[in-house]
Amino acid sequence: MQEKDSIQILEEMGTGMFCNIELPLTNSMKSDVISVYLGKDKDGRYNFFDGGGAIGTFKMSKEFIINREIKIAKLNNEEKTKDLYNILKKQEIRDKHKTRDSR
């Protein structure tokens, strides 16, 4: 039941909203990750960014969330969200410079 609530929360969330995700580490251990929701990709997977801390950017499908019983809760912390977005933008700029042609 909780996983369906997690999917419903994700469907209601807008891009840039802050959430807490309880990710499974092993069958018996879970870890809380605070991240920014980046929306869905073209394959319908949910995209997240945690500031480059433990994971960086990651994607999860609806089936994965349901099968692994991942719990997601919406958080409201604008300051932390802005910090994560700044880190994400800096990372995108660095990646763009790495792929730039040096001619």
Q: Tell me: the pLDDT tens digits for 76-91?
A: 666 766 777 788 788 8
Contacts of 28 (CB under 8 A, 6+ apart): none
What H or E segment, with its residue span, contains residue 33?
A: strand 30-40
**What domain range is 8 assigned to?**
2-99
Per-residue pLDDT of the chain (103 residues; tens, 9 = 90+): 355 688 999 998 888 888 888 888 887 888 888 888 889 999 999 999 887 665 678 899 999 999 888 999 887 666 766 777 788 788 888 877 777 665 5
Q: What is the pTM of this model?
A: 0.66
The side-by-side arrangement of strands in the sheet containing 57-60 is 57-60, 46-49, 30-40, 18-24, 71-75
Domain count, the chain: 1
Q: Is 47 exposed, middle or buried (0-12, 13-18, 19+ CB in 10 A)?
A: middle
